[in-house]
Amino acid sequence: MLLSDRVLFLDGEALVIDKPAGLPVDAPRDGSLSIENHLDLLRFGFKRWPLPVHRLDRDTSGCLLLARNPKAHGRFTRAFENREVEKQYLAIIDGVPADDGGTIDLPLAKTSTAEAGWRMVVDPAGKPSISHWEKLAVADGRALLRFRPETGRTHQLRVHAIEGLGFPLAGDPVYGRGGAKGRTLLHAERLVVSRDVKPPIIAEAPFPEAFAAMGFQPPEGAAPTRG
């Protein structure tokens, strides 16, 4: 697997790759591979390694933004913090919501126990968390959804799916019925970052093969499945 073959956007200050599912952004404690192991091949002529600006869960595939210099990293980080980044995700959930779309507004907080480890929960005293969603298709008792999160809390869409819609993301081993070897079916489909002088960063990741294997086709206007 060469991440240099999965570039969706590239210019002098930004790089967007289609991160494969199963590859973590941060180096795991067990010493297994992460994005860090691929940074040298993503320099594309620069002396510095590019640096990830945000995080995607290990299982989540799709658009990951990296900055090619420290100044750009700072600007992009502030854009995420100020909710100036347009993010769009595809997800398959284990069930079919009655409505065709809506908004989930549930604050989230982190909790931890010795028995179950840590997870995110709905908590009135937690951080504001807002996700807009629409139902795109139904197949075999599952639904393909498009999420447009306003905020970027840890595990936001995973918790909003189960707590806001009543159905977990398919394959989710923490909040759903997925096993230890399952994959949470969440995909960062589109990323748009506005810039003051330069044209905006616009990246769209191909429809995942894992989603097609569940009986779904790329929605209208989406990038086709990666060959």
Q: For strand 61-67 and strand 14-19, is the pairing parallel, antiparallel, or unpaired?
A: antiparallel
Torsion of CA 180, 153, 112, 105, to 10 degrees: -100
Residue type for 220, please?
A: E
Distance CA 39, CA 43 (A): 7
Contact 195, 204 (CB under 8 A): no
Distance CA 142, CA 135 (A): 11
Distance CA 176, CA 60 (A): 15
Torsion of CA 168, 141, 223, 148, to 10 degrees: -40
57: annotated active-site residue: yes
* Phi, psi (deg, nearest 5) at residue 81: -65, -35
Distance CA 118, CA 76 (A): 28
From the candidates 5, 11, 57, 100, give the one annotated as an active-site residue: 57
Contact 22, 78 (CB under 8 A): no
- From residue 8, how far is each of 16, 62, 221 by CA, in Å? 5, 10, 16
Catalytic sites, residue numbers? 57
